[in-house]
Structure 1
Amino acid sequence: MKKLLLSVAAVLAFGLVSAQDSDGGFKVGIHVGIPMGDAGDLYSANYGADIAYMFPVADSFLLGATTGYSFYSGKEYDLGGVTVKQNGAFIPVAAAAQYSLDTNWFIGADLGYAVYSGDGDGNGGMYYQPKVGFQTETMQFYAGYKGISVEGGSVSSVGVGAAYKF
């Protein structure tokens, strides 16, 4: 595990040093979504914040790392006169990739692990988020599907997001 962390740190450090293209760099954004599937039964909304660092590895192709905070607002349930509401939250730690189809349109994906940080006991799981979007020199807007494979099911949502590029 220590070797893996050192390898990831080395790749990110190399990216910081070699990023010469204005497409690379930091992105800070927000997202909102509607929970789907199993998560739709438990949660009413998904929202949060994201940060990423991307560096160019080829023409129109960026790689990097991303993290953030994704909150799932719990629905209220009446269990024999007792109202129950459990919120969920995850902190993703993932690799990110983005391919620019032209100057403004891109496709991308995040893949990694999401650490559970919500109410009560919960498990993290594999995190994935394919997305498609529109970008300018300083902003990105995207639509995507976020999935987290957890024990006994999945937590997923369809949403939109925006990010400011530094």
Structure 2
Amino acid sequence: MKNLLCILFLFSAVTVSAQTTDFKLGAHAGLPVGDMNEAYSYNAGANLSYMVGIAGLVEFGALVGYMHYFEDSGKEGDLSWEGNDASYIPMAGSGRIDMGPVFAGMDIGYALGLNEGNDGGFFYRPKIGFGFLGLTFVGSYSGISADGIEVNSINLGLEFSF
């Protein structure tokens, strides 16, 4: 499955031809939700995508990034704990419907786990955004699913095109 997703990612990155092309660089921060809400306190990441526009309405392309989940540590009475962070490199196909300054989109692919015992898993990120003064404000929900474990977060970020 990993090999298939990597091949699709590379294929979409090198075989596209259309009317407009765009690199997008983004950064985000978020709060873990669901099963990981108590294990991680927050997450942050960055991504680079190459998008191809068709008729000014639809964009598609490839995305690669870095996501880091910061694990909670704490103390309660005599009990204290120190957590282990989790890091991922998402590689995905990316698509958007552009409606003027507003867009709705989705990234789907594989997130490679970088920590020991973290194999990564299926990656998905629905997102919406609003462009203003050369920047795009992006809201998203990120999910990584592997072996019955879900690592999910709600994120806010910024991106710019070049």
TM-score normalised by length of structure 1: 0.84
Alignment length (residue pairs): 160
Match of 1:53 among 50, 53, 59: 50
Deviations 1:61-99 (CA, angstroms, capped at 9, x unpaired)? 000000110000010156975632110111101000010
Structure-2 change in CA distance of 1:151 and 1:11 (3 Å): closer
Aligned counterpart, 2:87: 89
Contact 1:137 1:165 in 2 (8 A): no
Structure 1 residue 59, shift from structure 2 partner = 3.8
Aligned counterpart, 1:66: 63
Aligned residue identity for 2:49: A
Q: Distance in 2 between matches of 1:83 and 1:6?
A: 41
Structure 1 residue 157, shift from structure 2 partner = 0.3
Contact 2:98 2:104 in 1 (8 A): yes
Aligned counterpart, 1:124: 120
Aligned residue identity for 1:51: L
Contact 2:63 2:92 in 1 (8 A): yes
Structure-2 change in CA distance of 1:25 and 1:148 (3 Å): same
Structure 1 residue 5, shift from structure 2 partner = 5.8
Structure-2 change in CA distance of 1:141 and 1:4 (3 Å): closer
Say which is worse superposed, 128-137 or 103-112, in terms of deviation.
128-137
Structure 1 residue 29, shift from structure 2 partner = 1.1
More strand by share: 2
Q: Distance in 1 between matches of 2:4 and 2:141?
A: 31
Q: Percent of counterpart pairs with the same letter? A: 32
Say which is worse superposed, 54-63 or 31-40, in terms of deviation.
54-63
Residue 165 (str. 1) matches residue 161 (str. 2): yes
Q: Secondary structure at the match of 1:111?
A: strand
Structure-2 change in CA distance of 1:4 and 1:32 (3 Å): closer
Aligned residue identity for 1:145: Y
Q: CA RMSD in A?
A: 2.5
Structure-2 change in CA distance of 1:135 and 1:43 (3 Å): same
Aligned residue identity for 2:86: G
Aligned counterpart, 1:156: 152
> Which segments of 5 or more consecutive residues in structure 2 lack a partner in the other structure?
none
